[in-house]
Structure 1
């Protein structure tokens, strides 16, 4: 069979593309599993480990594939990857969208959710051996390798060998490189480009859902290009010959590939092209269906209907606004009326209309009883990009430093009517200084001291938030408190999240806080003339502080004195056998699964 430089160049280009997809699939699944189950480090480490294990198994079994049908097997592999990768993505989403019976072991769900990683890794393991064998067969002479590739390769090779020679004993080799070395080189380049493009372009710009279809589309295109170039396609402008030039018994022949599989490949590729072309619509519809089902699953079957109003992904978080409508039997125990709007940041509920006011009363108006109101009192707010806490602080005429990482969210909240109903343009407060920064790094750099520090931060649902729940962070907060200063944060109930509570309290204690004051903020959220517990708050101090009620109590505490008169300072407990969470030695028990 007559071969050309175009043959080898095509195989090397396909190597780049399939390697690009293979590495990017790994990151897509890692991020998806993180979104679904939390724990960034855990999910990425397990996914990478499973992927490379499966990759090795696939490579080991590649020798059992028919050596006379290398081309057909490569084509089948790419079509299967194009079909399986998106299906696996949707399987993981589906597992987190349906109600799984309690009788089903969590370990079984965990295993099924990671099967797509194994399958994609296994199929990807076939690619390199098949491509290597085909390059070796086609590239029987050095002149078969494209001139540009040999020139670049020789230049890079000479430079690298010169560097290696500084440490190791080397023997320069001349002549044609083996198919393995050439394919591996292109594979590594494709992997690097795939990682960079995923991190800088695909994920931040398109999002996870469109990205999986972009990658599957590339696999489908790779299969079709291979079939067109090496098959019996007289119309293909870059082919190597006519049907007679591709005898059916040749290793690169596609004679054994059924026409049905070719049609399937064409249909998949066309379908993915349509999804990618309308990626905004596809992303919004699929994510909306998932989010609505996930929210409804938090309530008894048939009790609540969710409808996503809007969703937006900033650089740092996924912002979701949705309506929840009570559809259960009997009175609505969650809020007054039938429908209300709520806000989520990622998987954690940030606020709902029924308790937004009471939450900020608990965050600001209760602990303000522990400090003096007025311009001389300095308050630090970490988080609170919705400006609502700032509005409450404005009523006390204190000086506020506000630190939040997400400038995009803060800017939108300034003018959005949904937030303005609570913050009343508080961002214009003349004693407010807002800094766009990470709270931990801000405390590392500032020399300010504060009488009150308010932590209006998301829940500990993600590895990215471990820093704000670390001993190092709380130690920095303590170092920036005035002599009588305190720090306030909302917290998960110790009854509902005992492991988190133990790790959190030990972390705060390890940072040097010795006293705590815990309380619930209460409100009649369902108009039944009885108040319900809405949110739990903790006040921490490195020493004794004045009581919550008394001469300095705020108007809000005075109005609800029956709830707060028995709230007393107590020693921060210490739980044996529970390790504090540290940036350098994280305790993942502090993360919660919402």
Structure 2
């Protein structure tokens, strides 16, 4: 059997098809690494920028070293087998290096960060070998990838280029074809990763699927080449058989793991999350068991049980990314602080027009329902909204508030929503995740808070939880100056309290700010409908207005001039 048996699948077309596939895998590996690094070290822009830079650098090193490679067919097969192994194993290395948060030693962070970038260099170096090898493989084959049809668009392109450049016919189109298909494969890799692989399958399954695709590309090349053994000058057929066997074992292993992707993802992610949560407590003080883990297009949902030594029994919690959203023991305190305290500033609550930004668990809506307020809610994560409507654990806290007849929920970006609306609100509640990555910069910017001000009525207020100025001083200073630059000059701070460590004494929990650029109504906690505020009124209050401070030498955070101190590492 020869290649001609496959009709239109000419040798050149097969190899250019492989070019597309291997470029697809290589760039997608780097995107997976970038996201893993963001999860472990924060700073989305920083991680992606460094990954791209290291990848391009190592591509250049690979291309520079490629003339040292001998037999083209053998080395291309080796490169693809090595990539099929290195891609997923590199992701495993990043996870492994960061999988033991309780283990500490001097320089651990710096060493872990450096080692976690090694897979970027390895994949980049091997990918740098591909273009020169593929050019050699394609150059000695007749007929372009599109045969005679390829001449027509080339002649048309030559006329267009001739307007600005000096052009002349080329006898060798191998390099241009390989580069063109390689760039096309890279484009496809970035798009498919962003729209399909990551949101639908998560990082673990995605990197395994890429490894499988790389291994299949290696096997396809081996089968195609071995169909005409006269092509082989070296190495011996025995060495080829070894590489093919390795490729078969790798592809078979990856295929089995991908077929059981949900189980694999739960095991790998659950093990890491359990260690991460456990590290937040003193050694031996807590047992953690992950019950559910899933990824939406915007965040990671983790449901887990924790058994704290000083507490009686086990309680269940829900995290969004790394931040706790709900826990059996303190769900009331958080939402009472976010909703009930600021609502107490209004005498006639049934006439309130409220905008809730976030709040996808609908618990804040449940609190607002007690006041008969009109609620517009905007949340970007439609998948989590659906999850909160269906999941029994979350539903026990929201009491099916998504059915509230005075609620209007919009799935979309809060900034775009505000820009497209002229409605003004008496109260805007920000039930948002903390600024834990660059993705949240826009929601903690002067531009966003100016938008909020522009949608307030004359008596309008903005309420939000915030990080402690003692534990996160740099974030607090950047946040306060950002809010001040947006036009808010008064704030009313307060804390809620819970017995967080089970010792019988209540400690200060979440901190909240109510912001104003004009009105400073008195808070009357006796008006609160929730039992929590009434029971803790003496500790929460009195809630009093203060002039918003300003910190010298601290720049506000702007979309176009970001202050990365706003991000909590």
TM-score range relative to shorter protein: over 0.9
Between the aligned partners of 1:92 and 1:247, the Cα distance in structure 2 is 38
Partner of 1:235: none
Q: Secondary structure at the match of 2:384?
A: helix
Matches within 5 A, 1:563-578: 563-578=539-554
Range that drifts further, 34-43 or 492-501: 34-43
Q: CA deviation at 1:260?
A: 4.1
RMSD of aligned alpha carbons: 2.4
Q: CA deviation at 1:399?
A: 2.1
Partner of 1:282: 264
Tell whether the 8 Å contact from 2:73 to 2:232 is kept in structure 1 after alignment: no
Between the aligned partners of 1:75 and 1:85, the Cα distance in structure 2 is 15
Q: CA deviation at 1:220?
A: 1.6
Count the aligned residue pairs. Answer: 562
Tell whether the 8 Å contact from 2:3 to 2:224 is kept in structure 1 after alignment: no
Q: Secondary structure at the match of 1:475?
A: helix
* Aligned mate of 1:130, from 114, 117, 133: 133
Partner of 1:227: 222
Work out whether 1:154 is the aligned partner of 2:129: no
Q: Which runs of 5+ in 1 are unaligned?
A: 232-238
Range that drifts further, 125-134 or 442-451: 442-451
Q: CA deviation at 1:566?
A: 4.6
Question: Quick one: structure 1 residues 515 and 178, their matched pair in 2 at CA, closer, same or farther if it must change by over 3 Å?
Answer: same
Work out whether 1:301 is the aligned partner of 2:287: no
Tell whether the 8 Å contact from 1:319 to 1:346 is kept in structure 2 after alignment: yes
Between the aligned partners of 1:196 and 1:513, the Cα distance in structure 2 is 40
Question: Quick one: structure 1 residues 25 and 542, their matched pair in 2 at CA, closer, same or farther if it must change by over 3 Å?
Answer: same
* Aligned mate of 1:477, from 435, 452, 475: 452
Work out whether 1:111 is the aligned partner of 2:108: no
TM-score for both structures, normalised by structure 1: 0.89
Matches within 5 A, 1:396-407: 396-407=371-382
* Aligned mate of 1:171, from 167, 172, 176: 167
Partner of 1:8: 12
* Aligned mate of 1:92, from 86, 91, 94: 94
Between the aligned partners of 2:411 and 2:161, the Cα distance in structure 1 is 45
Partner of 1:75: 77
Range that drifts further, 353-362 or 386-395: 386-395
Q: Which runs of 5+ in 2 are unaligned?
A: none
| Residue-by-residue CA offset, 1:524-560 (whole Å, 9 max, x unaligned) | 3556442221211111111351333588677765543
Question: Quick one: structure 1 residues 247 and 121, their matched pair in 2 at CA, closer, same or farther if it must change by over 3 Å?
Answer: closer
Question: Quick one: structure 1 residues 314 and 127, their matched pair in 2 at CA, closer, same or farther if it must change by over 3 Å?
Answer: same
| Residue-by-residue CA offset, 1:235-284 (whole Å, 9 max, x unaligned) | xxxx22x4xx24545xxx55583654443222112111212222232222
Range that drifts further, 349-358 or 261-270: 261-270
Question: Quick one: structure 1 residues 247 and 160, their matched pair in 2 at CA, closer, same or farther if it must change by over 3 Å?
Answer: closer
Partner of 1:586: 562
Partner of 1:446: 421
Q: Secondary structure at the match of 2:511?
A: strand
Q: CA deviation at 1:129?
A: 0.8
Q: Secondary structure at the match of 1:448?
A: coil
Q: Secondary structure at the match of 2:146?
A: helix
Partner of 2:538: 562
Question: Quick one: structure 1 residues 160 and 204, their matched pair in 2 at CA, closer, same or farther if it must change by over 3 Å?
Answer: farther
* Aligned mate of 1:216, from 186, 211, 216: 211
Partner of 1:199: 194
Q: Which runs of 4+ in 1 moved over 6 A?
A: 2-5, 550-555
Between the aligned partners of 1:390 and 1:550, the Cα distance in structure 2 is 19
Partner of 2:293: 311
Matches within 5 A, 1:449-468: 449-468=424-443
Question: Quick one: structure 1 residues 254 and 35, their matched pair in 2 at CA, closer, same or farther if it must change by over 3 Å?
Answer: farther
Range that drifts further, 393-402 or 338-347: 393-402
